[in-house]
Amino acid sequence: MADGDSTRSVRAGRPAPEQYTPELPGPTFAAHFHLSGEATGPYTYGRDANPTWTLLEDAISELEGGGTTTVFSSGMAAVSAAMLSLVASGDTVVMPDDCYQTTRALRDRLESYGVRVRMAPTADDAQLALVEGARLVWLETPSNPGLDVCDIARIAAAAHDAGALVAVDNTLATPFGQRVLDLGADLAVASDTKSLTGHGDLLLGHVTARDPELAAAVRTWRKTVGAIPGPMEAWLAHRSLATLGLRLDRQTANALALATALRNDPLVTGLRYPGLASDPAHAVASRQMRRFGCVVSFTLPSRDVADRFLRALRLVGEATSFGSVHSTAERRARWGGDDVPPGFIRFSCGIEDADDLVADVLMALDAVR
């Protein structure tokens, strides 16, 4: 029998036991390494490789279910590496029109390089109709912030038939929510700033690919643009992986408890959580996800009600991002750029006790009724 998620994550990427060495070696701070004679690796110069990255990359590959991982200084460094290292002038990219807004903002850059971009929503697998002639099909599921879900295996099969590569931004779910490479994606991409590392204290991203040529292209891109993580961030991220299963189990349970409590609240409309049996995305999410993630979204009647609700919360910080052990929430429309109503709340469930979290949210709703 294969080891379970937490058994794997607590061991992932840790070196074989060696007398008098730590279980996880501390961060290696080095711009260059002793290197006499031939300039061959593994460790030559600090922009190419670092032993702290290597351990983390092996760990993430293990969680993704194989392949080669390249870690980056942020999620967007990983997203742009996957996008820009694999497409060239004259190629076509298919993107969701409801994905993370900075990913969407790459459209102008791609078009300025002579790449054609086609867009369709995540829901109802609408991108399926656009894959013919594409070089790269980009998916993000569940989408941020709308929480729509598409069928990865179905779109990947059609994209491959059309000769296209498939990348999935798996930030929200993490590999413990869905193993996108097993579902047919060529590249698993993520912002590890969010749920994978889960403490809200670092920025990081990664790309994992099973095909050695794709992995090498992404790796070369990192070296070329220098979008490298600091060794301290990489080490903290690796340390955080040990608790990934524990954190996600609690966050997922909290998110389901919160969504269930909000279901019939008269102040709440547009409630979305793919783990909720009544959610429009539940059927397809259940087929491909093992955990539904920590984000719940819903809409309050107005900007004013939403702002007052956020201020009334006692246990939930008003902040952007998601995936932290601390619950956070924000009125998403304050940023502009997302097609959401003024009272739209993106709520990220932490690891607090479910009863406390739900009581706090209901208290804040009562305060603005």
Ligand X SMILES: *Cc1c(COP(=O)(O)O)cnc(C)c1O
Candidate segments 158-166, 187-195, 214-222, 289-297, binder of ligand X by CB under 6 A = 187-195
Residue 217, SS3 per DSSP = helix
Q: How far is the CB of 316 from ligand X (least distance, A)?
A: 18
Measured from the CB atom, is 297 or 305 closer to ligand X? 297
Task: Report the residue from 9, 193, 251, 254 that binds ligand X according to the rule CB under 6 A.
Answer: 193
- Alpha helices of the chain — where are they, by DSSP H? 5-11, 51-64, 75-86, 101-104, 106-112, 152-161, 212-225, 231-241, 244-262, 282-288, 303-312, 354-368
Query: How far is 186 from 116, CA to CA, in rounded Å?
Result: 20
Q: How far is the CB of 367 from ligand X (least distance, A)?
A: 29
Contact 271/147 with Cβ under 8 angstroms? Answer: no
Taking alpha carbons only, the member of 102, 104, 101, 109 closest to residue 119 is 104
Q: How far is the CB of 175 from ligand X (least distance, A)?
A: 14
By CB under 6 A, tell whether 152 contacts ligand X.
Answer: no
Task: Report the residue from 27, 205, 231, 245 that binds ligand X according to the rule CB under 6 A.
Answer: 205
Binding track, positions 229-258, relative to ligand X; x by CB under 6 A: ------------------------------
Taking alpha carbons only, the member of 185, 181, 155, 163 closest to residue 92 is 163
Measured from the CB atom, is 203 or 255 closer to ligand X? 203
List the catalytic residues: 47, 100, 169, 194
Contact 135/92 with Cβ under 8 angstroms? Answer: yes
Task: Report the residue from 9, 69, 127, 171 that binds ligand X according to the rule CB under 6 A.
Answer: 171
Sequence letter at residue 64: E
Task: Report the residue from 140, 151, 330, 360 that binds ligand X according to the rule CB under 6 A.
Answer: 140
| Chain residues 88-117 in contact with ligand X, contact rule CB under 6 A | 100, 103
By CB under 6 A, tell whether 144 contacts ligand X.
Answer: yes
Query: How far is 290 from 176, CA to CA, in rounded Å?
Result: 7
| Chain residues 58-87 in contact with ligand X, contact rule CB under 6 A | 74-76, 79
Contact 229/70 with Cβ under 8 angstroms? Answer: no
Query: How far is 178 from 188, CA to CA, in rounded Å?
Result: 10
Measured from the CB atom, is 120 or 189 closer to ligand X? 189
Taking alpha carbons only, the member of 325, 289, 331, 295 closest to residue 313 is 331
Measured from the CB atom, is 189 or 365 closer to ligand X? 189
By CB under 6 A, tell whether 178 contacts ligand X.
Answer: no
Two structure tokens written together for 353? 């006790």
Measured from the CB atom, is 52 or 348 closer to ligand X? 348
- Name the residue whose CB lies closest to ligand X: 75
Candidate segments 173-181, 186-194, 266-274, 333-341, binder of ligand X by CB under 6 A = 186-194
Pairing of strands 344-348, 328-331: antiparallel
Sequence letter at residue 260: T
Measured from the CB atom, is 103 or 254 closer to ligand X? 103
Contact 344/309 with Cβ under 8 angstroms? Answer: no
Binding track, positions 20-59, relative to ligand X; x by CB under 6 A: ----------------------------------------
Two structure tokens written together for 147? 């929480």
Binding site for ligand X (CB under 6 A): 74-76, 79, 100, 103, 140, 144, 169, 171, 191, 193-194, 203, 205
